[in-house]
């Protein structure tokens, strides 16, 4: 839908609501997505069209309706082992480096920021379970956060549809880590117990969860306006251990976005705190990894 | 360019799969049942087989069993693509030598991710 359409004003207001509540920006070229994503809300509240919906939102305080609209407009697409090259890199490069660096404490904390329905966090948990002997005796904490309570509820349930289960997940892992329950597939209690989910807005300074050794914030920041993105980077910088690693989505970068992070010299797509190497003994990554950048 | 043999008795499914696979840079061959698929494999082995379960003449599982017993029959990656979504069928397919399993309906991302998992895309 373009701004020239009859309800372009309503669409703009709804997109503004999403940005104000979450930081996510919907560009005018994608305003058509607003009406599509709100169809379920219109049906649930018996509201005939989005003009009437906006009138209802503006007419009286209705937090439940506002929250329903915001959650419906959020882009929650996620699937298991999304970007297989990245998961391979985590397994073969980042984790060995962190394992070396944390050999004394044998403790790792990982944050999946903007975890949506949990596939990324559970993918990491499955990857650790695949390598259970290597990580025996380690205390590994995986925390998934999202702004949307409804997606967190789904993440905590560990239940996925047939369509969701096979997106990115190998049949071997599906058989190993899931049980079929009617039309759905439910993740095994062992894997579910390894991940904790909690509500959090990455653009807000509140919600201190301590420091993490690895933060995955993938395909989240690209939906933010520059000033919101800057706030998110500040939060990520505060939450990352001095010798920890930040990973963004394939289409995202820190370059020109923040002064808090440097692109890791050894691996493309991995970021470290600026000047952190002088403060701690950062584990050295293997420069033989195929993604290693040329000097 | 890799070759994928699509084995399905549904012309519509073959057409949909062909369209997706061609966008993924595959050369696509088609067979309407397991027997026809075996004949094609005996003249030239594809890199990947996208295989339906229930077909006339020869089922997918019978085709897979025969393929894996044939000379060089272990080479093609076989991805079942079927409406059979029960655990028993999935396990039977893996036991017979399938590399991956797609439950219909499927979309481009699902198929692409499965082909990546078997190292074919």
> Do A146 and A243 have their domain in common?
yes
Phi, psi at B17, each rounded to 5°: -65, -40
pLDDT at A20: 85
pLDDT of residue A272: 94
The domain spanning residue A110 has which CATH number?
A: 3.40.50.150
Residues A122 and A247 in one domain: yes
**Domain shared by A66 and A89, yes or no:** no
Q: What is the pLDDT of residues A163-212, one digit of tens each?
A: 999 999 999 999 999 999 998 999 999 999 999 999 999 988 766 789 99
| Partner-chain contact B94 A171, CB within 8 Å | yes
| Chain A residues lying within 8 Å of B92, measured CB to CB | none
φ, ψ (nearest 5 deg) of residue A278: -80, -15
**A131 and A14 share one domain:** no
Q: Average pLDDT of A154-168?
A: 94
Domain count, chain A: 2
Distance (Å, whole) CA A228 – CA A243: 25
CA distance B20 to chain A (A): 15
Beta bridge partners of A234: none
Q: Do both A39 and A153 map to the same domain?
A: no
Q: What is the ipTM for the molecules in this complex?
A: 0.91
A201 and A264 housed in the same domain? yes
From the list A79, A81, A166, the residue facing B102 with the nearest CB is A166
Q: pTM for the full model?
A: 0.84
Say if B1 is an interface residue toward chain A (CB within 8 Å). Answer: no
Return d(Cα A182, Cα B86) in angstroms, integer: 9
Q: Could you list the residue range(s) of the whole structural domain that residue A146 is in? A: 84-157+189-278
pLDDT at position A118 over 90: yes
**Among A26, A50, A73, residue at a domain's last position:** A73
Structure tokens given for A127? 């990857």
Could you tell me the pLDDT band of residue A281, with boundaries at 50, 70 and 90? very low
* Percent of chain A scoring above 70 in pLDDT: 89
Residue A2 has pLDDT above 50, yes or no: no
**Structural domains of chain B, ranges and CATH numbers in brackets:** 2-117 (3.40.50.2300)
Residues in B 51-90 with any Cβ partner in A closer than 8 A = 85-87, 90
Question: Is A239 inside a domain boundary?
Answer: yes
Q: Are strands A240-248 and A261-263 parallel, antiparallel or unpaired?
A: unpaired
CB–CB of A162 and B114 under 8 A? Answer: no
Q: Is the separation of the CB atoms in A232 and A202 below 8 Å?
A: yes
- Over chain B, what is the mean pLDDT? 95
Q: Please say if the pLDDT value at position A122 is more than 80.
A: yes
Q: Is A127 on the interface with B (CB under 8 A)?
A: no
Give residue-wise pLDDT tens across range B32-42: 999 999 999 99
Residue A181 at interface with chain B, using a CB cutoff of 8 Å: no
The verdict on A182 touching B (C-beta cutoff 8 Å) is no
**What one-character-per-residue DSSP string does A95-156 give?**
HHHHHHHTTTT-EEEEEEET-TTSHHHHHHHHHHHHTTTTTTT-EEEEEEEES-HHHHHHHH
| The domain boundary residue, chosen from A73, A94, A117 | A73
């Amino acid at each position: 839908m373009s701004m020239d359409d009859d309800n372009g004003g309503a669409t703009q207001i709804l997109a503004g609501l999403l940005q104000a509540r979450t930081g996510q920006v919907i560009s005018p070229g994608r305003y058509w997505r607003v009406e599509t994503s709100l169809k379920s809300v219109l049906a649930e509240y018996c509201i005939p069209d989005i003009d009437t919906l906006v009138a209802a939102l503006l007419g009286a305080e209705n937090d439940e309706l506002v929250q329903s609209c915001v959650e419906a407009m959020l882009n929650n697409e996620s699937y298991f082992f999304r970007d297989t090259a990245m998961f391979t890199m985590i397994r073969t490069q980042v984790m060995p480096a962190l394992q070396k660096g944390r050999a004394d404490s044998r403790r790792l904390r990982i944050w999946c920021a903007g975890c949506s329905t949990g596939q990324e966090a559970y993918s990491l948990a499955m990857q650790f379970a695949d390598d259970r002997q290597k990580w025996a005796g380690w205390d590994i904490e995986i925390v998934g956060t999202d702004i949307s309570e409804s997606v967190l509820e789904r993440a905590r349930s560990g239940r996925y549809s047939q369509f969701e289960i096979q997106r990115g997940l190998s049949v071997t892992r599906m058989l190993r880590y899931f049980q079929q329950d009617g039309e759905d597939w439910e993740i095994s209690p062992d894997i579910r117990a390894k991940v904790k989910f909690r509500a959090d807005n990455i653009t807000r300074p509140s919600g201190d969860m301590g420091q993490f050794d690895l933060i995955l914030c993938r395909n989240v920041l690209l939906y933010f306006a520059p000033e919101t993105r800057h706030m998110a980077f500040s939060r990520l910088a505060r939450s990352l251990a001095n010798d920890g690693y930040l990973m963004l989505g394939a289409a995202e970068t820190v370059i020109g976005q923040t002064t808090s992070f440097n692109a890791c010299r050894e691996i493309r797509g991995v970021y470290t705190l600026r000047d952190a190497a002088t403060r701690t003994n950062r584990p050295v990554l293997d420069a033989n990894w195929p993604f290693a950048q040329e000097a | 360019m890799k070759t994928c043999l699509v084995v399905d008795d549904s012309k519509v499914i073959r057409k949909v799969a062909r369209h997706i696979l061609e966008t993924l840079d595959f050369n696509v061959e088609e067979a309407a049942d397991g027997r026809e698929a075996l004949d094609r494999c005996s003249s030239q082995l594809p890199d990947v087989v996208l295989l339906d379960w229930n077909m006339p003449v020869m089922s997918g599982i019978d085709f897979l069993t025969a393929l894996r017993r044939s000379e060089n029959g272990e080479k093609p990656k076989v991805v079942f693509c079927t409406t059979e979504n029960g655990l028993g069928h999935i396990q039977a397919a893996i036991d017979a030598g399938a590399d991956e399993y797609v439950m219909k309906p499927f979309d481009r991302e699902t198929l692409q991710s499965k082909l990546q998992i078997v190292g074919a895309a």
